[in-house]
Amino acid sequence: MNIELYNFELLNLELKPVESNFVDYVKINCKSGKGGAGSVHLYRDKFTAQGGPDGGDGGKGGSVILKGNKQLWTLIHLKYRKHVVAQDGKNGQGGMCTGRTGEDVILEVPLGTVAKDFETGKILFEITEEGEERILVSGGKGGMGNAHFKTPTKQTPRYAQPGEEGQESWKVLELKILADVGLVGFPNAGKSTLLSVVSAAKPKIGNYPFTTLVPNLGIVAYRDFQSFVMADIPGIIEGAHEGKGLGLRFLRHIERNSILLFMVAADSENIKHEYEVLVNELEQYNPELLDKKRILAITKLDLIDAKAVKKLTKKLPDIPHVFISAVTDKGITELKDLLWKNLNE
């Protein structure tokens, strides 16, 4: 599935495609290998003219397997690989020789990859650990050779099982980013700026909506050489759970975060209302998201004075909060401390 991304030109509202290396959805056709046929063979040598059956079994067909790789963060390497075919198993031979097993195809994927059946939409499994291997499409079993069918009344059976056919189906791989802290907020709330300040990540930053068109990950350094992972999720707008704005495409990334850091700009007309809208969008998409710990960061503190801060504090929602300015670094240490404390409770 080729999803185009767009930049919003403020002057003429012209939409232009943007190239991106971040791919979080691929659809691939997977075909496992056919099992090899069992052998029909009777033992013969210069001393044995009429030996019994010694046909070997066919080899198992190769499978298509997903393997977790923590070094990967995108599915771009599978974007243009539309067909994946595993090797067929080899036929059995005389002398009880089993056919060679077909070679598996192992597809390495980022941690947080969800495998689904394209036809039914059913979730098959999720890859969450380094080196974890799960079979996406299993290879066909090899057929049994005629040696298995010998009985007291049928000493020389001249038949064997054919190999089991391989499976072929379309599968969908979706990536849900694994991070300790997920940044949730409307476009232009300062999420990218914060990530660029607290980590080495360099997301695109601009003073207009939808600057961030793909999720960005950053490792936040903390005290005593400790760290945690923060994810900048592209901005949500009201109605995102219905597909508006960037819509459902990025909401799923929030499912993998341990803590949700809600971000609302200090110059917002109603901080509490914006927070409630964001919470409602998450609830409409997946009610279980509200079970996660929530922290509120009021950004762009440099735009208001101390008197306004005191006034705003009385109108904030009843969750842990902190005022920050990514431009002046004010409140950034307090924010890290609050996040670390909640991550380790």
Task: Look up the CATH number of the domain holding residue 213.
Answer: 3.40.50.300
Answer whether residue 237 is part of any domain: yes
Query: At residue 8, does pLDDT exceed 50?
Result: no
In this structure, the answer to whether residues 90 and 192 fall within a common structural domain is no
CA distance readout (Å), 81 to 1, 34, 38:
12, 21, 33
CATH of the domain at 163: 2.70.210.12
Question: Using CA atoms in the order 130, 133, 137, 139, what is the torsion angle rounded to 10 degrees?
Answer: 150
Do residues 209 and 8 make contact, with C-beta atoms less than 8 angstroms apart? yes
Answer whether residue 33 is part of any domain: yes
When pLDDT is cut at 50, 70 and 90, the band that residue 13 belongs to is: very low
Domain count, the chain: 2
- pLDDT at res. 314: 84
In this structure, the answer to whether residues 329 and 304 fall within a common structural domain is yes
Answer whether residue 15 is part of any domain: no
In this structure, the answer to whether residues 243 and 140 fall within a common structural domain is no
Taken in order 310, 316, 318, 319, is the CA torsion positive or negative? negative
In this structure, the answer to whether residues 206 and 338 fall within a common structural domain is yes
| Residue where one domain finishes, among candidates 175, 196, 211 | 175
DSSP helix/strand/coil, 267: coil
In this structure, the answer to whether residues 139 and 162 fall within a common structural domain is yes
Percent of the chain's residues with pLDDT above 70: 84
DSSP letters, 99-113, are PPPPPPEEEEE-TTE
| Residue where one domain finishes, among candidates 175, 203, 227 | 175
Q: Please give the residue that has the higher pLDDT: either 306 or 262.
A: 262
The domain in which residue 121 lies consists of 25-175
In this structure, the answer to whether residues 204 and 308 fall within a common structural domain is yes
In this structure, the answer to whether residues 97 and 188 fall within a common structural domain is no
Both tokens of 163, joined, read 């190999």
Answer whether residue 5 is part of any domain: no
Answer whether residue 10 is part of any domain: no
What distance in Å separates the CA atoms of residue 136 and residue 32, rounded to the nearest whole number? 9
The 10s digit of each residue's pLDDT in 154-199 is: 888 999 999 999 999 999 999 887 788 988 888 777 788 888 888 8
Overall pTM > 0.75: no
Taken in order 216, 217, 223, 225, is the CA torsion positive or negative? negative
Strand ranges (E), the chain: 5-8, 15-18, 25-31, 64-68, 83-85, 105-109, 113-117, 123-127, 133-137, 168-175, 179-185, 216-221, 227-232, 257-265, 293-299, 321-323
| Residue where one domain finishes, among candidates 132, 155, 175 | 175
What distance in Å separates the CA atoms of residue 267 and residue 188, rounded to the nearest whole number? 12
